[in-house]
Structures are given as C-alpha cells and as structure tokens.
Chains A and B, each alone.
Chain A
Amino acid sequence: MKEVPISKRSIVIIFLLVAVLAGGVFTLQRLIPTSTSGLVTPSPNDQMASAAATKAVEAFFTVDYQVGMDSWLNRLCDLTTDSGCQFISIGASPMWDRYLEEKTIVMAEASALQKVADKQSEQVWQVNVSLSAALPGSNKLLDTTYVVVSKTDTGWLFDRFLLQPEINALLVKQGKASQYGRNF
C-alpha cells in the first residue's frame, strides 16, 4: 500500500473547486431558459385541446360566401361550446356582410404554436393561421391568434378568441413568469 500525501491546502482547493462547479451549474440552470420544453411530448389532454383550437380557428377563417353565414355558423358551432357559439352568433353579421359584398372564398389552415395558459378545464393556445387568399380589409395571409378552449362533457371545444387586453395581460404574465420562473 502506497500512501499519497495530500496537503491541507490541496483539500481546501478541491472543496473550493467542487463548490464553484456546483454553484456554476445551479446558476446556469436558473439563467438559461428551459430550452427542452419545446421538445417535450404534449400530454393527450394538451393534444386534444390544441386540436380543438386549430380545428375551430380553421373553421372560423374558412369562408365561402356562397354557403352563407348560417352554414358557416353551423359548421363552426359543432366545434365550439354552446356559449362560444352564441357569442360568435351575436357578432358575426357585420363581418359576413363584408364577405357577401366581396364574394369572399378563403381556405384557412391553422397550427398550434404553444399553450400559453392552463387552468385545468380551460386553456389558452397561441395559434398560427394561414389563408389561401386575403380576407376583406386585409392583405395578410399569415397571422397569429390566441384562443380559449374549454373542457366539456364531450371533450375540448373552442370557446372564444382572446380579447386584446387579455392578450396583453397574458404576455406581461409570461414575461414575469420567464423572469421569476413562475408557472401560469
């Protein structure tokens, strides 16, 4: 057996190195945003909720003036909560007046970008939308929206589009969350 002499100074240096290393790892974990969050497989619940959001958004922005507002509403309301259907119904007429005037025919495709809020029976999803042609009053073919989906007895259904003040508030919350590591 061969003895390896280690001085007290070396032991102190080794301890200091270990402490600095641990501290560095801890600090990096706190500073660097969780870059793997986007790689996590969404839960079945989230998959159903995001599918509800994208299907309804596609139905909302898919417009054929020839089929009329009632058919559009019927198709859309199959994908929404009862109150969400009612909410859209009381506000869709002016929008459809423009579609009829402009003889609008547009196909929409939507994809869920991220879940921005989750309250068990309600979620808010950021959804990207692309159109086959521009809608009246706009020349955009790509845009983003935030939608509320609700868990019902028959599964996840679209409830409504988020209002602009709600979007602003959510974005502020998200900023705070990433700053302080809070979860919304």
Chain B
Amino acid sequence: MRKVILVCCIIVLLIPVSVQAQDESPWSEVFDETGAVRPDVNDLGVTTDNPDWMSIDLPFGQSLDLEANYHTYHTANGSTVVMPSATTLFFMAMNPTESGLSDSLGMMSNGNGSMISFLGSVAGSNIDWNAVSSDHPEYSNPDQFWNAVLTGQQDVWTYFSGWNFITLLTSVSWDDAALRTALLLYQADDPNCAVLPNGCPVQVVVTPEPVETSPRCPDPKVTVQPLTANIQKTGPANPLVIGQDPDKKRGADISVSVSVPPVIFTWYEPIYKEKEDCGYNANGVYVCKIKRVFKECRKHVENLPDPVASLQATASLDSASRAWITGQLGQTHYGAYIHKPTLSLVPGLAGWNGGCSGGGSCSASAHINRAPFADPGTFNLSLQGMTSGTSFMGARISDPRPIQATSSFQVYVTLPALIP
C-alpha cells in the first residue's frame, strides 16, 4: 500500500522526474529513467519523533510536544526519502532551518514548488493578502511570498488571518494530493544529518528487535453486579374472582420488571515505545536498531451490557387454596371446583420488552392487564429468565445469569349465605 502511494507520486510528477533523470538528478536513486520507483528502494513505514520545532510552549513552563510523523523510504545508496504528515510538513515549513527542510533536496524536481503548492492549499486562504501586498509590494504573487517564507527571509505569522486551519491539518490523510507531492530527499553524505527528520540516514536498518522488557500488566478483572427482578400484583387492591367483581372480568394486573447493571470489565493494555539505538558497527557502517521498550500499562474499564435473553412469568394457586376449594368450600357450596389453578402470564397473556442503555445498564419489563383469575385463594407468582452473558472483542467475559423472582397475592370470592 505504501509503495502504491509512492507510485502515485511518481505518476503525478512523471514528466519532471524523467527530465531530472536525464540530468542525473539525485532523485535517480529513487526513481528509474521511466519514472518508476526503483526496486531497491526500501519502504520503512511510518516513524514518529518529538522534535523541538514541533513543541508548543504553554503557560507554567508546560509544553505540548506534537508528534512528527514521517513516511520514510530508504535508497540503496543510503539516502532517505521522507513524506511528512501535513501537520509535520507545516511545522517544517514554519521552521525550515531547525527542521532540516532547507537541507533537503527539495520536493521532487521542482524545488520549493510542491511545498508552495502545499502551503497554498492548506494555509493560502488564511493569509491576509491585502496586508502582504501593502507591506511587501515586491511580491507580485503568492508564490514569491511563500518562497520567501520557505527560505527564512519572510515572517509569515504576522499575516495569518485565521487560526483553526492548523488543527485541521491533523485530518489531512497521507493520500492527500498536496502531501503526495511533498517528498523530501536527504542524501547519505549530508553533513547536517543530525537535523534531518529521522536523524542520520542509515546504511543498514535492523527490523524491530523483540520487546526489551516483558509486560507486567495486572490480570483483567470482571466485576458482576447483582441484578434485581420483581413480579407483583399492581391492582386492584382486593381482586375478586372473575365474574364476581362489579366490573365484569376485571381480574388482576401483574407487573414484571428486571434491572441488570453492567458487568464491569477492567483490563490493562501494555504500551510500548520505540527506542532507537544508533552507532557504527565493526565494518564502519552506521546502524540503527529499533527496540520496542515496554512503557506502561494502560488501564481500560469497559461497562459491558448483559441483556435479558428470556423471561417467563406464571401464576399458580397454592395447594392450601386448592384443598380449601375442594374441601371446605365444596361442603357448603355443592359442586365447587378448581377452574384454572395456573396461568401463563408471560408469554401467555403478554409479551415483554427489554433493552440496554449506552452506559451498559439493561432492563426488561412486562405488564399483564386484567389477568383472568377464576379461583379464590393465594396465587404464587413466579418469574424465571436468563441474561445473555457478556463478551468483549469476541471473547466471553461473563456467563448468562438466571433471573428469578417470586411473590404472592390473594384472590377473593363472595359467598352467598342464607340467614334464617
């Protein structure tokens, strides 16, 4: 992919590169005579650095040390080609000497042309051109102004008329056309290699070595908070068996609710820092070894939702009430019998609704209105269910949990009696 980006650069600037190749341009170690990238150019990927010229001074002696990012390529002759990120390139342009920009061989074949295009693209609309032409009538066009900025002859800060474009540079991608033309070449024999974006060009680059220190992060921790479940009669206060209540077939209302707090999963991520160790080897070759050094354990706390997966609610006449109907009541009211001792409330008479909030808390509820209780006595209400369990990034964190709740209520009957 990275080579594809580089090839795109070549296509964009094919003609000038070919001309340069004929003149034995230094770029000939990057591109062949057809303008294609040479097969011996090595893609080193993206490297980062915290250079002083990208440090923003803040009050109280603090500083925001912006990270410089470079997509780096290495030629067989030991030269380095870098494609900085937009933010990096902007700060390089604002600090051409300190950043080593003025020591590079420029952008491809057209000197500062691509850098001027880049600056015009990202900052051109934030320059007070009226003030520029008023103070500096010697600049007949913006390119001359930018060229003076890049050579350190012109202060640009006085003429910025907007500010937030600098932070917006962070959203410019590597594939942006303005960036793709901004390749910088630093040759191996550059005497000022210390100021170059990645330090001195290297003859041999050793692939990252194994981690210097093994991570010492704590084990992950799972905290399962108890869930709450409830099933109860909500009305009327004293339900009668259906048929006897003034409002025919009123029955009773039952309410079900479940609340499941999030499962808290705490885990630690080992963070590594790349450390460059450079020096000359026994053969006199400058060698850089990149080591990944353990830096810290970054703590992450995840609130994982454990949604309700199933719910069933039933009502059942207790055995004492059954015995009373067929025994005591049957003696005084001939033919008394048990009509419907069990009722399936959920899902029989109503369905349930559930869901989870963004914070990981889940809930479920059901409301059974006018459930037709036909027998007098004590009904036991029972709620049974399961949660789904939790997972994180495809790994199971906690198992499904049972949901249970019980309660009871009375259903009344009015009995006629003959008074002598």
Residues of A within 8 A of B (CB): 61, 68, 70, 81-84, 86-88, 90-95, 100, 119, 122, 124, 129, 131, 134-135, 137-138, 140, 143-145, 148, 150, 159-166, 168-169, 172-173
Q: Closest CB of chain A to B293's CB: distance in Å?
A: 13
Bound Cα distance A70, B300 (Å): 9
The total of chain B residues at the interface (CB under 8 A) is: 32
Bound Cα distance A94, B163 (Å): 24
Q: Which residue of A lies closest to B63 (CB)?
A: A95
Q: Chain A binding site: helix, strand, loop or mixed by DSSP?
A: mixed
Q: Does B125 make an interface contact (CB < 8 A)?
A: no
Q: Closest CB of chain B to A152's CB: distance in Å?
A: 10
The 8 Å CB contact of B60, one of A83, A140, A163, is: A140
Return the CB mask of B140-168 against A: 1 if under 8 Å, else 0. 00000000000000010110111110111
Q: Does B338 make an interface contact (CB < 8 A)?
A: no
A81: B residues at CB distance < 8 A: 164, 167
Q: Does B50 make an interface contact (CB < 8 A)?
A: yes
Q: Does B189 make an interface contact (CB < 8 A)?
A: no
CB atoms of A137 and B62 under 8 A apart: yes
B320: A residues at CB distance < 8 A: none
23 contacts between A and B (CB under 8 A): A86-B167, A86-B170, A90-B66, A90-B87, A91-B64, A91-B66, A91-B67, A93-B67, A94-B65, A119-B162, A129-B59, A134-B60, A135-B62, A138-B60, A143-B60, A148-B163, A160-B163, A160-B167, A161-B56, A163-B56, A163-B166, A168-B157, A169-B160
| New A-B contacts (7) at CB < 8 Å, excluding given A68-B298, A94-B63, A163-B57 | A70-B298, A82-B171, A138-B61, A145-B59, A165-B157, A166-B163, A173-B158
Q: Closest CB of chain A to B47's CB: distance in Å?
A: 14
CB atoms of A61 and B60 under 8 A apart: yes
CB atoms of B64 and A88 under 8 A apart: yes
Q: Which residue of A lies closest to B131 (CB)?
A: A173
